[in-house]
Structure 1
Amino acid sequence: MMPEPAHVLLVEDDASTAAYIQRFFEHSHIRITAVADGTQGQALAMAQPWDCIVLDRRLPGLDGLTILTTMRADNIQTPVLFLTTMDGIHDRVSGLRSGGDDYLVKPFALTELSARIESLLRRTKEPGNDVRLVFADVEVDLLTREVRRAGEKLYIQPQEMKLLEYFMKNPLVVLSREMLLQAVWGLDFPVRTNLVETHVSRLRERLGRDAPPLIHTIKGRGYMLRHP
């Protein structure tokens, strides 16, 4: 028996972009319902369960950030992926801090959009997803603070653990140095320090020098957790 398709709400006011996305997923296990207005998008997001919501930031009626804030205030925890042209560091940070689960900037590749949606769907359907993070062969237990790679237990220091947790919660997302300083160290102002670089280097070593690398440097932009 075939599993039920995942039902994804797309709130996107650009008709060509919405049609482009719907055509791509037409014969997949993901079913897209698209609306072009923020007010209608919020009403649908709060009226019925969805497996995932793909949300633009700039919308007629209500903007995407307002929709998400209202959802989270009403304890609706549907995973939300922002899909937007707003690519500033402040835009990304505000989107994630308001309860967004991922952030993809336009223009985008449909294959990457698909991979990110699938990642969010796996995260919500895994048993115990609130206490266990999994990416590739790395597992993090948020209760015991235990980290394993390919079944082998690793020793991770507390600050490195916070850094790893943030990477694991935001896979396939370019995380800038500023975003990491804010999320991991709580620094909301520019600082001249190699804090991020040092801890990323140490974390890479903890994850295994001889294992395939998972934390990649994106030149001029930051770091990304992805498969080799």
Structure 2
Amino acid sequence: MTDRILVAEDEPRIASFVKKGLSGAGFHVTVVPDGPGVRDHALTGGFDLLVLDIGLPGMDGFDVLRRLRASGSTIPVIILTARDSVHDTVAGLTGGADDYMAKPFQFEELLARVRLRLDRARPSPSPELLAHRGLELDPRTRHVTLDGRTVELSAREFALAETFLRHPGQVLSREQLLRLVWGPDAGSSSNVVDVYVRYLRRKLGPDRIATVRGAGYRLEPG
């Protein structure tokens, strides 16, 4: 989905320059030239980032920013302004801006900051649900179900099952499993792997994990 950027700028030449550059970079850009209009557009929740000029007619950018944050809006804001004093920079950042750029500016730098702020604003992906032939593991909650029925696994059994589900159809040697599940200091004994594979077979079914003679174990893909 294309990110939507709101540009608050009353100088037509700069507004056109920024819109053309951001549109060319693949963003959907809306330009609004006055403070009240910027506030109203931003509060719709339909934008992913705001590039905000301070010297706007009707309501300056600092006031727009204060009203947005007071309303609970968390839209990332990059201030882009001719005011480059330390006082103005501090006022913008403490007022809730995420970044501050002084005019004149290089578009490449603005684009880099826009992308950075959008990336930081995106929620971190939660661990995916791992599934295999009716078996489901949730790495976040460590909940396991088999054909809809909850299965209780110990921490080590869960780690071993998760390792198999992340490598379906791949032959994993006992040494690999020791390193992945028990850690690099687990030693060289492979008997513990055999023991825990037996535990998993009892709980998850005898035909799910195949023994590959002389090589290790494999989670059957079919």
Q: TM-score, normalised by structure 2?
A: 0.55
Identical columns (%)? 35
- Of 49, 61, 65, 1:64 maps to 61
Provide structure 1 residue ranges, at least 5 long, that are not aligned to the other structure.
129-228
2:73 counterpart SS class: coil
CA distance in 2, matches of 1:78, 1:90: 23
- Of 76, 80, 99, 2:77 maps to 80
Which protein shows a greater Rg? Answer: 2
CA distance in 2, matches of 1:111, 1:36: 23
- Of 51, 55, 69, 1:54 maps to 51
Tell me the number of residue pairs that the alignment of Structure 1 and Structure 2 aligns: 125
Deviates more, 1:45-54 or 1:110-119: 45-54
CA distance in 2, matches of 1:93, 1:12: 21
- Of 5, 8, 12, 2:9 maps to 12
- Of 121, 124, 127, 1:124 maps to 121
CA distance in 2, matches of 1:76, 1:26: 24
Partner deviation per Cα, 1:80-126 (whole Å, 9 max, x = no partner): 00000010001000100000000000000000000000000000114
**Runs of 4+, deviation exceeding 3 Å:** none
After TM superposition, the structure 1 = structure 2 runs for residues 21-40 of structure 1, keeping only pairs within 5 Å, are 21-40=18-37
CA distance in 2, matches of 1:126, 1:117: 16
Provide structure 2 residue ranges, at least 5 long, that are not aligned to the other structure.
126-222
CA distance in 1, matches of 2:76, 2:93: 11
CA distance in 1, matches of 2:86, 2:25: 33
CA distance in 2, matches of 1:26, 1:45: 19
Partner deviation per Cα, 1:42-85 (whole Å, 9 max, x = no partner): 11111233110000011100000000100101110100000000
Partner deviation per Cα, 1:12-59 (whole Å, 9 max, x = no partner): 000000001111122322121001111111111112331100000111
Task: Give the aligned residue type for 1:32.
Answer: V
Task: Give the aligned residue type for 2:44.
Answer: A
After TM superposition, the structure 1 = structure 2 runs for residues 203-214 of structure 1, keeping only pairs within 5 Å, are none
Determine the structure 2 residue equivalent to 1:100: 97
Closer, same or farther: CA 69–107 of 1 in aligned 2, 3 Å: same
1:26 counterpart SS class: helix
CA distance in 2, matches of 1:124, 1:33: 19
